[in-house]
């Protein structure tokens, strides 16, 4: 069995949300699968799934903003009753927190083709895929998984395209 990719494109594009934690890509390529050889059982068919894998180094899980306001009255001891014995303090604060998690890999299947016989092909052109909550560097690559089936066996092989850092 063989599976291969050609004419692949992985183009980062501006996310529609304009959020700095969103990533979007235009993905394309042609993926071919072929079953060869002579086994004892007859081929019943198979599938070819093609898509993209997106890796993100750091996930931005959630964020919170905590505003604060303080008011602090004071009295001088010993208290003499003069205006200088009393004081007043005020303050405004703003605290922000971002909770980060280790990165993940997201698999985005784009097409899955069932076939009979020994060969199949999937062509992808300009499919837009997205990934949200990515606070770190991101990576993308194409993949294609070929499965060949008989009455009592399945054989599976996967092609991985070149990884592109974005």
Cβ pair 150, 37 in contact under 8 A: no
CB atoms within 10 A of CB 141: 18
- The per-residue pLDDT for 59 is 85
**pLDDT, tens digit, for every residue of 46-79?**
999 999 999 998 888 777 899 999 999 888 888 7
* CATH annotation of 2-59+103-165: 2.60.40.1650
- Kindly report the pTM of this predicted structure: 0.77
- The per-residue pLDDT for 113 is 97
Q: What is the mean pLDDT of residues 140-145?
A: 97
């Amino acid at each position: 069995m063989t599976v291969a990719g050609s004419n692949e494109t992985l183009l980062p594009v501006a996310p529609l949300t304009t959020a700095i934690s969103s990533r979007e890509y235009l993905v394309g390529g042609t993926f071919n699968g072929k079953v060869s050889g002579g086994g004892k059982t007859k081929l019943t068919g198979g599938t070819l799934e093609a898509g993209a894998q997106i890796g993100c180094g750091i996930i931005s899980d959630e964020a919170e903003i905590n505003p604060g306001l303080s008011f602090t009255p004071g009295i001088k001891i010993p208290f003499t009753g003069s205006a200088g014995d009393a004081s007043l303090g005020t303050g405004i604060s703003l605290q922000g927190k971002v909770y980060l998690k280790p990165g993940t890999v997201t698999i985005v299947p784009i097409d899955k083709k069932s076939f009979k016989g020994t060969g199949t092909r999937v062509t992808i052109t300009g499919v837009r895929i997205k990934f949200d909550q990515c606070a770190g560097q991101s990576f993308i690559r194409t993949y294609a998984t070929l499965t060949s089936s008989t009455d009592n066996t399945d054989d599976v092989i996967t092609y991985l395209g070149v990884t592109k850092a974005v």
